[in-house]
Structure 1
């Protein structure tokens, strides 16, 4: 299979269960780069065995970590996947057909579609899990990641076509994993709010929960995915509410920032 002047870039911490499948799904990338922030499982050894160059970087936050990875890449065109994501066969074939023209043109990025496997099966109706558009392929001279600690986005001006095939996301293997990630992501988001001096508006909290649940359950069609859809909508609404409660606590009790960070580090979460 011909290799394209493209780097697959993956940021990791303790992803031994997933990293091989992720790397192997992009056999046409001339380079595979893993930026690891301190795994204590076999992530690094498995990544190297599957053709990746591994670079260590202490955790900087999602946006800065991705920008660091971009600076380590050997090629200007970069495909970004998380370790628990992998290319579907249709998307892999489409990329091989379209990459030459894309790289020769003036596009800044390209949108890929992501489909999610949740509780052991693909979601069928919930819109963010069935073909969500995400900018994951880009030219590093024309695009960069925002500096957000979490919920980072690729920022660019210029053409960005959308590919038809999908990459797959094996969402958190259990609700326990999901809740740990919710705590980590909420903490990172609240730290961003704290840095920017956002007011804590607790009066919004009940409305935020209700609106977030209705948005996902009804308008994003989670209701059509049965009880799995209900769980997704409830989890999303709880996350929206918890962020605001946690931020209120940070503003009331600044000492809780480091106390919570220590508790999350004990669970293996990266909080900086």
Structure 2
């Protein structure tokens, strides 16, 4: 299959179960780059066996890590996927048809639609899981990732086209994986808040939980996906509440930041 002057960039840490599927799903990329932060489960060897160039970089946080990856890419146009994501055949065909003209133009980036597989099968109704728009394709001189430790976003100005076919996301193989991810993401977000001096408003906590649940369960139609939808809404609401409780603890007991970091590091959750 002909390749395009584009780099697929993936950041990894212990992604041996999914990295091959991710890399193999982008057959048109002239370069496949993996920026690894210290995997010890075979991720690096698998990535190399599937055509990727692997660069090591100690963990910097999601935004900084993606910006570092951008500097390592051989091509100006970059497609970013997480290791648990992969392009659908329909999106591969659409990109092969439309990318040459787009890359020759002045667009800074492009929007992709993400479809989520949860508990073994795709969500059907929950809005963020059936067509969430994410900027994942960009020209490195026209866009840059925010420096957030977590929940980073691609920043650019100008009009960006949208591809119609989706790419797929296998969202947390088990609820255990999800809860560990909640702990990790909450810690990273709270550290960002701490650095910025965000005010502590614990009085909002009960309302935050309720509003987050109502938003996901009803407004975003999670209830139509049955018990899976209930679990997604409950997890999202619990995450919103836990972040605020943890941030309160950080401000009232500063040594807890280092102690929690040691515990998360012990379980590989500090990156």
Counterpart Cα distance in 1 of 2:125 and 2:163: 20
Provide the aligned C-alpha RMSD in A: 0.5
1:129 equivalent in structure 2: 129
Structure 2 matches for 1:1-272, cutoff 5 A?
1-271=1-271
1:261 deviates by: 0.7
Counterpart Cα distance in 2 of 1:152 and 1:84: 17
**CA deviations over 1:93-121 (Å, ceiling 9, x no partner):** 00000111100111000000000000011
1:60 deviates by: 0.2
Counterpart Cα distance in 2 of 1:8 and 1:269: 25
Tell me, what secondary structure is at the counterpart of 2:159? coil
Q: Where does structure 2 lack aligned partners over 5 or more consecutive residues?
A: none
**CA deviations over 1:215-263 (Å, ceiling 9, x no partner):** 0000000000000000000000000000000000000000000111111
Contact 1:114–1:133 (CA under 8 A) maintained in structure 2: yes
Counterpart Cα distance in 2 of 1:253 and 1:105: 53
Tell me, what secondary structure is at the counterpart of 2:147? coil
1:158 deviates by: 1.2
1:270 deviates by: 2.4
Tell me, what secondary structure is at the counterpart of 1:9? strand
Tell me, what secondary structure is at the counterpart of 1:15? coil
Counterpart Cα distance in 1 of 2:100 and 2:32: 19
1:267 deviates by: 1.2
**CA deviations over 1:137-185 (Å, ceiling 9, x no partner):** 0000000000000000000001200000100000100000000000000
Contact 1:77–1:139 (CA under 8 A) maintained in structure 2: yes
Q: Which runs of 4+ in 1 moved over 2 A?
A: none
Counterpart Cα distance in 1 of 2:265 and 2:59: 12
1:61 deviates by: 0.2
Q: Where does structure 1 lack aligned partners over 5 or more consecutive residues?
A: none
Name the count of aligned residue pairs: 271
Instruction: Give the TM-score of the pair, scaled to structure 2.
Output: 0.99
Counterpart Cα distance in 2 of 1:229 and 1:35: 33
Counterpart Cα distance in 1 of 2:159 and 2:116: 27
Counterpart Cα distance in 2 of 1:182 and 1:44: 25
Contact 1:106–1:159 (CA under 8 A) maintained in structure 2: no
Tell me, what secondary structure is at the counterpart of 1:38? coil
1:266 deviates by: 1.2
